[in-house]
Structure 1
Amino acid sequence: MKKNIFCLFLYFLSSFIYSQNIPFSITKSGLFQDDYKETAIVLAEKIDDNGFLLVRSYKKGGISPGEGFYIEQYDTNLKLTKEFEYEMKHPNYQKYNLVLSLFTIEKTIHIIEIYYDLNLKCFVCLDNKVLNNNAIEKTELFRMSKEEMKGTFNLQKKFYARVDEIWINDNSGTINAEDSNIKRGTFLDVFLKGDLAKDGGDASDITVVVNDTKTAFAIAMDLNQKSSDGLRIYVFNSKLEKIIDNTFTKEIKDRNYIFQNIQVSNSGDAVYLLAKSYDKDLRKKKEGGKYFFELTKIDAKNQLTQIIDPEQNFVGSLKTFFHNDELVCLGFYSELTDYRYKGICFFKFDPNSLELKKSKYNLFTEQFFFDKYGKNTEIAVKFLTFRKVFFNNNNEIILNAEEYDKTTRAGAGAGINGAMGPISSSTSYSFDDIVIAKLNYDGSMLWARNINKKQSTTDDDTSYLSYTSTVRNDKTYFFINTKDKIKKLKNDRIEFGQIRKNKSNLNVIVVNAVGDFDYQEILDDEQNEVPFMVSKGAIIDNTIYFLGRKGKDKQLLKVTL
């Protein structure tokens, strides 16, 4: 990798800014350039007290598109001390290679990928282990023939979709993330649209999840078939030994079965699969349809299922988390006939027996609605997407979500002599209000707040919008790009917004232990030589790292709380 350092004398810039309860320091690297314009941080981990590891993915365009990684080590002042570039090269007979995940186990980087081998006539999933001498050790995890792969995800389509995107690393276990907000069961769409919510192999997915203890990881492939729905699940331990190989199936003649997420136990010997099931006949009735969630525990020998019945409530989706040897499911809910979220639901299970220990439905507070609308109102929230969930030292839960919406509109271009031209489409992305709430150990809401925000773009690169969040000392910090002036709303409220990518200020919002919040500008755009990708921040302890980019120029920013 070739880098041109423009500011050799400027390895870092430090200053301390205090605004009531928001102390922080900033450090900037010098400007540099890579061989490839578009990169994003996909991993950051502490090496020791003197340095940290940073992995950035890059997209290689042109006639032979591809992807690869810059694997770098920095000292605490953001001075580069070691670097290695790993391009994901393949011979011509290995087609549609797709990187699935990147993570570390025992401080060693693992890169999981899958491709189709023309010579073997099968799909191969590999682990690429990056050794200390920068050599790569390849281990085959599994292979599947074309016959076995029929009805699974469409690798070719996913490969070409990735060509125009820079890869971001998601080890959360979410299945069908792209469709999770609308097509995969949020609000009443599955009730109203029926089978349009699932479109065969194109709606299927492959996902990787690593457990919290980093002792095991799972690879799950969604199987969308006419008579049954299912997942092919593999689990590997830290030595890459296969400990679970299971095909989980559900007959779907009478109901729709929609997988939501999968998690690996802390011990690494079991996976927990969460799915949403609809009854097709009841769905057609005017009063709405009956549905429920199924939580299934799968190990090498046994399978155990627990039903979660929302009763009179409508729950768009649930997400599973482990904490203190307990299993917690969180989601947003509304009335069964409504499409707007009105609160947060909580379920706690014994991870061994799947016994339901606690369940709770919490309406959003009056303070929350006043934050959002400036008055008491029955209006609720649409299009909520989970961003982060934290557990503090008191076992309380701090969660945040965002009003995210992606809308694609189709249109027709003009053809010859006024004839209809080729169909085109445009996609808009909206990143609006932030929802933050705190629940106690039993799931009861302590408080909920709404942070007003309006951000949108038609650019496929949304890295400069949305936010990165972290929790330190029971305070939640949000890092966002905003306008110069914060918009004032009625009733002493404010709203954060954006102008454009290269004209934004970096701000931090802090919400304390009782729900009060303050904000502080970190960097004015006139102080920045590059804008920073605020939604792709990487967190190590009390430090957040951002990558900035403008044209070919790049820069790292370190914010220490």
Structure 2
Amino acid sequence: MIKKHFVLLFILLSGWALSAQKMPVSYDFGEKYNDRYRYSNLMTIDEDGSGGYILVRAYYQGLILKPKGYLIEHYNSNLELVSEFNYKVKGLDFIDGFLKNGQLNLLFLNYNYDRGEYEYWVHTSPIIAFNFRTVKLLSLSSEEVNNPVDKNYFNRNFSNGFTTSILFDEDKRGFVISTHHKKGKSEKHMIHLFDTALNKKFEFDFSDEIEEKNYAFENVTFSPDLQSIYLVGKAYFKKRRFQVDERKFQYELVKISQFGSQSQSFVDPGKYPEALYPILLSDRLVCVGFYADRKDNRYNGIAYFDVNPSTLDIKSQKYNPFSQQFMDDKFGREDDKDIKNLVFKNVEVTPKEEIFFNAEEYFVTSGLEVTGAGQRVRIERYHHNDIVSVKLDPSGAMVWARNINKTEVTQGDGAYASYSSYCKDGTTYFFICTAAENPQLINNERLIFKQGLSRNRNVFLISLDTNGVMDYEKIIDQEEARLPLMVSKPLKDEKENKMLFYAKRGNKKQLVKVDFN
């Protein structure tokens, strides 16, 4: 195993003078291994409970690439590949994977044509000797539909008969399965709560609440005893007439237990919340996200709501407009200053209950492309652009908001694009993987990372300290890291202050570990 240790000397962006601040970071490269599956996607990565790691990849084969199964890789604490297991199962929609008490659990959705129903299955096996058994969690009679769990950040289709959401909390203590089925004039919306030991805690018939609105839940958190669910999402009005300046939905917080449900809407004249995320603190519940001054996806700042977790009454709320510093970061002196297409990525809460809220500018474009055979095919391109990071104090007031300019577009595996973040001692660190050698500096104030053309990738670490001061450094050079990192799918270990990345290209693979010392 090759080991490198660095003390990163960051350069203060304002003025570009050497800073006295030093951030020690070390990284380890695991050995490069041959891999027989050239085409694959990393589905999940977790710790094995003994210092090692379990990775699950879906692999594809054939002249026309089709999913053929799942390769499970087991690494020890030295990043050495201990074993592999080929789980040959196909025809199922993978939802998520998680480890619990030495058991690997793979959650799938399957359509049973013989029974005419959707089935939710967990395939579970001990990791010491893989031997999968299947557990059916629940089933629902329905005609088959396209993309029953399709995630659209800006809309949701309820007209095709069946739609479902499967949501885990941040710590993966449990998960919710939300099922909405419509047949003729009959509609049924059920909420099911499971813990990650696969015990069903309860189910709740939410159908009475959908007479006037359809609910598209986006984020969830649970009470410590897993007896209450807090769901946040869009409630789409079904029969209302709308003015031109009105949205067809509103954001709502819904609390569900086996005894009943409560809801709280977030509606203020001229304010349109978006991408709200629930955070359950010691004795209160807060929801943070973006807001707009008009009904489109162009955002003006950060919304904050302090909610009573028992009654859902709003105790306080704040709308924090983006600062001039943020606007200068993003646009410089441009006249077109629309902030749009922001998608929530993650949130961190400090022991002082300060909140760090991170998001990304994400959107999809499509176009026609001519193949080598002269055929015209439609290609979708996934754009992962600017990083938005915000710090709120415990009362919800914005301390700072910063924008990191980057442009990335991919047609394939999005794991190589986007970014990952880590918060330590009040400083937020962002990992990006780019072929660019250096960021571009515009007007001596704006730092921009542009996607390069090389197949190799440099790893940059960008930091925002407690005052929002931005620094950066290239921590891993592409000459060292010959394999690109799947930078947006890391394993975070906050107890040990480290992150684990999977690196792969073609028939080569390895693990890379980064330690915050």
Query: TM-score, normalised to structure 1's length?
Result: 0.80
Is the CA contact (8 Å cut-off) linking 1:256 and 1:280 kept in structure 2?
yes
1:52-201 alignment, distance < 5 Å: 52-62=52-62, 65-75=67-77, 77-80=78-81, 82-89=82-89, 96-117=91-112, 122-136=117-131, 138=133, 140-144=135-139, 148-150=141-143, 154=145, 157-158=146-147, 176-177=150-151, 179-180=152-153, 182-184=154-156, 199-201=159-161
- Report the alpha carbon displacement of residue 97 of structure 1 after superposing the two structures with TM: 2.0
Correspondence 1:473 to 2:425? yes
Of residues 510, 520, 526, the one that matches 2:463 is: 510
The residue that corresponds to 2:12 in the other structure is none
The residue that corresponds to 2:446 in the other structure is 493
Correspondence 1:370 to 2:360? no
The separation in 2 between residues aligned to 1:100 and 1:556, in whole angstroms, is: 24
Mark the CA change 1:324 to 1:71 in structure 2 (over 3 Å): closer, same or farther: farther
Mark the CA change 1:484 to 1:224 in structure 2 (over 3 Å): closer, same or farther: farther
The residue that corresponds to 2:33 in the other structure is 32
- Report the alpha carbon displacement of residue 389 of structure 1 after superposing the two structures with TM: 0.5
Correspondence 1:559 to 2:514? yes
The separation in 2 between residues aligned to 1:247 and 1:24, in whole angstroms, is: 50
Mark the CA change 1:229 to 1:454 in structure 2 (over 3 Å): closer, same or farther: farther
Partner AA of 1:85 in structure 2: F
The separation in 2 between residues aligned to 1:428 and 1:122, in whole angstroms, is: 33
The residue that corresponds to 2:5 in the other structure is 15
Correspondence 1:401 to 2:359? yes
1:439-478 alignment, distance < 5 Å: 439-457=392-410, 459-478=411-430
Partner AA of 2:353 in structure 1: N
Partner AA of 2:166 in structure 1: T
- Report the alpha carbon displacement of residue 36 of structure 1 after superposing the two structures with TM: 1.5
- Report the alpha carbon displacement of residue 101 of structure 1 after superposing the two structures with TM: 1.8
Is the CA contact (8 Å cut-off) linking 1:502 and 1:525 kept in structure 2?
no
- Report the alpha carbon displacement of residue 437 of structure 1 after superposing the two structures with TM: 0.7
What SS does the corresponding residue of 1:317 show, helix, strand or coil? strand
Correspondence 1:315 to 2:310? no
Correspondence 1:349 to 2:350? no
- Report the alpha carbon displacement of residue 448 of structure 1 after superposing the two structures with TM: 0.7
Deviations 1:345-371 (A, max 9, x none): 011222222222221111011111121
The residue that corresponds to 1:531 in the other structure is 484
What SS does the corresponding residue of 1:200 show, helix, strand or coil? coil
The separation in 2 between residues aligned to 1:428 and 1:89, in whole angstroms, is: 29
The separation in 2 between residues aligned to 1:228 and 1:333, in whole angstroms, is: 35
The separation in 2 between residues aligned to 1:468 and 1:144, in whole angstroms, is: 35
- Report the alpha carbon displacement of residue 518 of structure 1 after superposing the two structures with TM: 0.6
Partner AA of 2:60 in structure 1: K
User: Which one has a larger percent helix, Structure 1 or Structure 2?
Assistant: 1
% identity of equivalent residues: 28
Query: TM-score, normalised to structure 2's length?
Result: 0.86
- Unaligned 5+ residue runs, structure 2? 10-20
Deviations 1:461-498 (A, max 9, x none): 22222111111111111011230132121243221112
Q: Relative to structure 2, which stretch is displaced further, 436-445 or 422-431? A: 422-431
Of residues 36, 43, 47, the one that matches 1:45 is: 47
What SS does the corresponding residue of 1:298 show, helix, strand or coil? strand
- Report the alpha carbon displacement of residue 434 of structure 1 after superposing the two structures with TM: 1.0
The residue that corresponds to 1:272 in the other structure is 230
Is the CA contact (8 Å cut-off) linking 2:270 and 2:293 kept in structure 1?
yes
The residue that corresponds to 2:192 in the other structure is 234
Correspondence 1:288 to 2:246? yes
Partner AA of 1:479 in structure 2: F
Deviations 1:408-459 (A, max 9, x none): 236899x9xxxxx9873221222211111100112111111111112223x2
Partner AA of 1:58 in structure 2: A
Is the CA contact (8 Å cut-off) linking 1:228 and 1:249 kept in structure 2?
no
The residue that corresponds to 2:14 in the other structure is none
The residue that corresponds to 2:502 in the other structure is 547
Is the CA contact (8 Å cut-off) linking 2:102 and 2:126 kept in structure 1?
no
What SS does the corresponding residue of 1:55 show, helix, strand or coil? strand
Partner AA of 1:516 in structure 2: V
Partner AA of 1:551 in structure 2: G
Is the CA contact (8 Å cut-off) linking 1:434 and 1:451 kept in structure 2?
yes
The separation in 1 between residues aligned to 2:399 and 2:513, in whole angstroms, is: 32
Is the CA contact (8 Å cut-off) linking 2:44 and 2:57 kept in structure 1?
yes
- Report the alpha carbon displacement of residue 281 of structure 1 after superposing the two structures with TM: 6.8
Mark the CA change 1:21 to 1:380 in structure 2 (over 3 Å): closer, same or farther: farther
What SS does the corresponding residue of 2:207 show, helix, strand or coil? strand
State the Cα RMSD in Å.
Answer: 3.1
What SS does the corresponding residue of 2:76 show, helix, strand or coil? strand
Mark the CA change 1:438 to 1:378 in structure 2 (over 3 Å): closer, same or farther: farther
